[in-house]
A and B are shown apart, each in its own frame.
Chain A
């Protein structure tokens, strides 16, 4: 157990604990706020795993933008303030499937890696990642930018009631 292991354990416990709260809480807004805790712990995980750029992008885009969008959705759909009881469906199939998936994957990965230790690679700084991104992965990068544009246009068309309803 090195310092990195202890950090990974602690941050993983925080992430999984707040993830449990995200999927079980009765308050809609609190689910979004627990998601912030979960995503922040994951950003810490990325930092320990030497993925600096991914960690900061996670903080910027996920915690900064995605969670704000989700909270907007909560507010615009007039979610009830306080606890509400009709958020859940009967849970046995969900618990069975989710638990089976999570524990099955965990068992698979534990069996694959046991308690082996690896050395951490060189840090994924913006310079190294940018080099990879613009040399090897430049075509997927451009395709992804087109996809972002398509998603932007699609969201605008979807959310305007006077487009596409000609009759």
Chain B
């Protein structure tokens, strides 16, 4: 087995993931590109486990399992954040998110009011259901 083949595969996949994270506007596509990067790291770990003789056998594969679990947790929380963002702003474009909301408190209520005042169909249904639940 030539270890250079999976190593180069992993390096190229990681580069593709970096490219995707920087290139894509849609938050879901950014999450998908992050998955590509995590998988590249997994491939490096498994290949290193087969290549390097370590004191503890199979440590690389155990680490790969840990990374898979971390990726599952990450995508769960990431999905919740993306959905909440969509509910508030009716968009999932990452370059339309205002990152500096803190220093300008005068502008802060504006997006919330627009989101509540002119809600998208999903957001309106969501808040309506929540209010109905509270009333009950």
Q: How many A-B residue pairs have CB under 8 A?
A: 284
User: At the interface, is chain A mostly helix, strand, loop or mixed?
Assistant: helix
A42-B43, A57-B68 given; A22·B32 CB < 8 A: yes
B66 A140 Cβ-Cβ under 8 A:
yes
Residues of B within 8 A of A61 (CB): 68-69, 71-72
Residues of A within 8 A of B9 (CB): 8, 12, 15-16, 45
Of residues 59 through 115 on chain A, the ones whose CB sits less than 8 Å from some CB of chain B are: 61-62, 65-66, 69-70, 72-74, 76-79, 86-89, 91, 93-95, 97-103, 105-106, 108-110, 113-115
Interface size grouping (class) on chain B: 35 or more
Among B18, B92, B122, the one with the most A-chain Cβ atoms within 10 Å of its Cβ is B18
User: At the interface, is chain B mostly helix, strand, loop or mixed?
Assistant: helix
A129 B5 Cβ-Cβ under 8 A:
no
B3 to chain A, nearest CB (A): 5
Of residues 101 through 133 on chain B, the ones whose CB sits less than 8 Å from some CB of chain A are: 122, 126-127, 130, 133
A40 to chain B, nearest CB (A): 11
A5 B22 Cβ-Cβ under 8 A:
no
B80 A86 Cβ-Cβ under 8 A:
no
Chain B residues with CB under 8 Å of chain A are 1-9, 11-20, 22-29, 31-33, 35-36, 39, 42-43, 46-47, 49-51, 53, 56-59, 61-62, 64-66, 68-77, 79-84, 86-87, 92-93, 95, 122, 126-127, 130, 133-134
Chain A residues with CB under 8 Å of chain B are 1-2, 4-5, 8-9, 12, 15-16, 19-20, 22-23, 28, 31-32, 35, 38-39, 42, 45-46, 48-51, 53-54, 57-58, 61-62, 65-66, 69-70, 72-74, 76-79, 86-89, 91, 93-95, 97-103, 105-106, 108-110, 113-122, 124, 128-129, 132-133, 136-137, 140-141, 144, 147-148, 151-152, 154-156, 158-162
Extra pairs beyond A19-B12, A22-B20 (12, CB < 8 Å) = A1-B2, A16-B13, A35-B35, A45-B43, A49-B46, A57-B65, A70-B28, A70-B35, A77-B27, A87-B25, A88-B25, A120-B50
Chosen A-B contacts, 18 in total, with CB atoms closer than 8 Å, are A4-B1, A12-B6, A19-B12, A23-B20, A28-B26, A58-B42, A61-B69, A77-B28, A94-B23, A98-B19, A102-B19, A103-B15, A105-B11, A148-B73, A151-B74, A155-B79, A161-B87, A161-B127
